[in-house]
A and B are shown apart, each in its own frame.
Chain A
């Protein structure tokens, strides 16, 4: 086994770790947050409008 074989295994391992991290995080987010909130984005909407008061 030379350096390139080691690099092959390392690449598989690192790719697996990154994919698992994303999957784990996605599952955690799905569990911790309401689906309605996660899919609440609207086309062209300005983000972070944290407060709006209408004074009428």
Chain B
């Protein structure tokens, strides 16, 4: 070892904050979608009758299960903000990436506008029931969008924690309604025997119902947008997405069962708020209150998640110069894409001010559908370019290419269903994307820096041709005696295998945060830096005396030490983690916990514990 280079200090960078876990991913996906159970899905009853709606619910459920499986595999490998946009960029090329990015922004911004409209309409109807006939919904629409944009602007952790609470409350209101109508006692409150009819418009009606069956699940694919903000993409994204689609399948089935057992299909097919109406039919005031709160919460959670997702997609496109770089800025304190959030506010408000709920939601659905059509082609190319076993994946979806073929077939069927009801809008939307593609190809693409857009470390190859699985080692150090033993072991191992060694130290509070704290004391900061410096000097001396070259010392900041170690290893493609354990056992381990144990549980590579 002959020199020490502090390269990291002169290239200061700010990124989105990695603070989210699987529960936040669940809240993002289910939060966006759950509003569809409270309204919208029931138009499928109008098209195909109650049984036709159930078929649509399950068939479209199959479509979205394919979406969730395919997305989980690709996103756990291509883990970057922008979700499917980033996938398309890496797998298919710039023109497809631009289109997919635009589908995402349009789908989520329009859905956000529709959600805000729903909040305004609900308050208008409440005011009407209380004797105030001409309530202007616009201030409440603008307030909904502004308040949620403010929340998103201030930080992703609070935004999605709020979404978790209100989404869980909305889901709980559906469960309470389901239990409240005594499903174990058919005929008491539910009258399926009398209310369920044959298919009123035959099988063509069932096909037409597919378009509205999408409402049950529209937006679950939005979980991918959190890829750069989750602590462990390979673990959190598949867990959050798959648990989200399971939640939605349960919610959709309960919703259908309750609503069709309480309301005749002719009424249900036109109702504005079917679950709330179902609660009213029960005659229970408490169920009505639960469902009213559930409806409002679901609309707010949906708009909140949409702002999160649309801004990440727009931000990613700006960062890669598919849109002006100005949009690719990150707020230095809140670590959010603040310019993208601000820019999309007037667009969402203007969509909402049209007041055309069905038109806005139709355009949103069509943009989503275009995105789903891209997915089977995307995963086909992904598996072809990187067959199983060549790179590491957080999740591998089963029976490939069956899910891709099923998804493609169902997308084509749903286009036909949409054409039956909204042919003009479908053609207008396709024309819009063709014009946008021409603009990108002939004008915008010249600004894209082609090399700079692929900075993400691509997952390492998993072959074993060189006779060893270990190509680089990460050693976590915290200045303790056991940590020093771990460093010794890691140096020996790295020397023996002739592989690079990185020693990682995790700061619990970042220096930026510390400097902004009112209780900031430079002595605390200096003491912390001094411990790290001493640790690194020790590593440096030991490596030098062992004759080991190619050693890096890295400091990262995170409130979750184990998550940070596992995420660093995952993001940078390490094959082996070495760390010390203080050896707490029994009660002391229960109370104090074990960082080493947590790293073993989270890491996607072997972990060696030194004691």
Residues of A at the B interface (CB closer than 8 Å) are: 2, 4, 8-9, 11-12, 14-15, 18-19, 21-23, 25-26, 29, 33, 35, 37-56
Contacts and interface: CB of A to CB of B under 8 A. Distances in A.
B536 to A, nearest CB: 6
Contact of B16 (A38, A47, A53): A47
A30 B300 CA distance: 30
B555 interface: yes
Interface stretch (B53-61, B107-115, B139-147): B139-147
3 closest A-B pairs by CB: A44-B456, A52-B8, A11-B139
B555 A50 contact: yes
A43 to B, nearest CB: 5
B455 A47 contact: no
A21 B342 CA distance: 11
A25 B331 CA distance: 10
Contacts of A41: 13-16, 319, 328, 330
Most buried by B among A11, A43, A50: A43
B507 A50 contact: yes
A15 B18 CA distance: 29
Interface of B: 1-9, 12-18, 79-82, 86, 127, 130, 132, 135-136, 139-140, 142-143, 145-147, 149-150, 153, 227-228, 316, 319-320, 325-326, 328-333, 335, 338-339, 341-342, 345, 453-457, 507, 510-511, 532, 536, 539-540, 543, 549-558, 567-568, 571-572
Contacts of A37: 12-14, 332
A10 B2 CA distance: 67
A45 B15 contact: yes
A22 B150 CA distance: 7
A9 B511 CA distance: 43
Given A2-B132, A41-B328, A51-B554, 7 more contacts: A40-B330, A43-B316, A44-B455, A45-B456, A46-B18, A49-B554, A53-B7
A5 to B, nearest CB: 8
A39 to B, nearest CB: 5
Nearest to A23: B342
A56 B7 CA distance: 13
Contacts of A15: 139, 142-143, 145-147
B418 to A, nearest CB: 33
A50 B514 CA distance: 13
A56 B320 contact: no
Nearest to B151: A18
Contacts, number: 183
Most buried by B among A4, A35, A40, A44: A44
Contacts of B17: 47
A43 B136 CA distance: 43
Contacts of B135: 4, 8
Contacts of A38: 14, 329-330, 332
27 contacts: A15-B146, A22-B149, A22-B153, A29-B331, A33-B332, A38-B330, A40-B12, A40-B13, A41-B319, A41-B328, A42-B13, A42-B15, A44-B79, A44-B457, A45-B455, A47-B18, A48-B15, A48-B507, A50-B511, A51-B9, A52-B6, A52-B553, A52-B554, A53-B4, A55-B4, A56-B1, A56-B549
Contacts of B339: 26
Contacts of B18: 46-48
A23 B149 CA distance: 12
A43 B321 CA distance: 12
A44 B142 CA distance: 33
Contact of B510 (A22, A39, A43, A50): A50
Contact of B335 (A4, A47, A50): A47
Nearest to B136: A8
A47 B81 CA distance: 13
Contacts of A42: 13, 15, 319, 455-456
Contact of B326 (A22, A39, A54): A39
Contacts of B6: 51-53
Contacts of A55: 1, 3-4, 539-540, 543, 549, 551-553
Contact of B319 (A43, A48, A50): A43
B572 A12 contact: no
A2 B132 CA distance: 8
A53 B507 contact: no
Contacts of B228: 43-44
A37 to B, nearest CB: 6
Contact of B8 (A18, A25, A53): A53
A56 to B, nearest CB: 6
Contacts of B130: 4
B460 to A, nearest CB: 14
Nearest to A21: B150
B13 A46 contact: no
B590 to A, nearest CB: 30
A44 B86 CA distance: 10
Contacts of A44: 79-80, 227-228, 455-457, 571
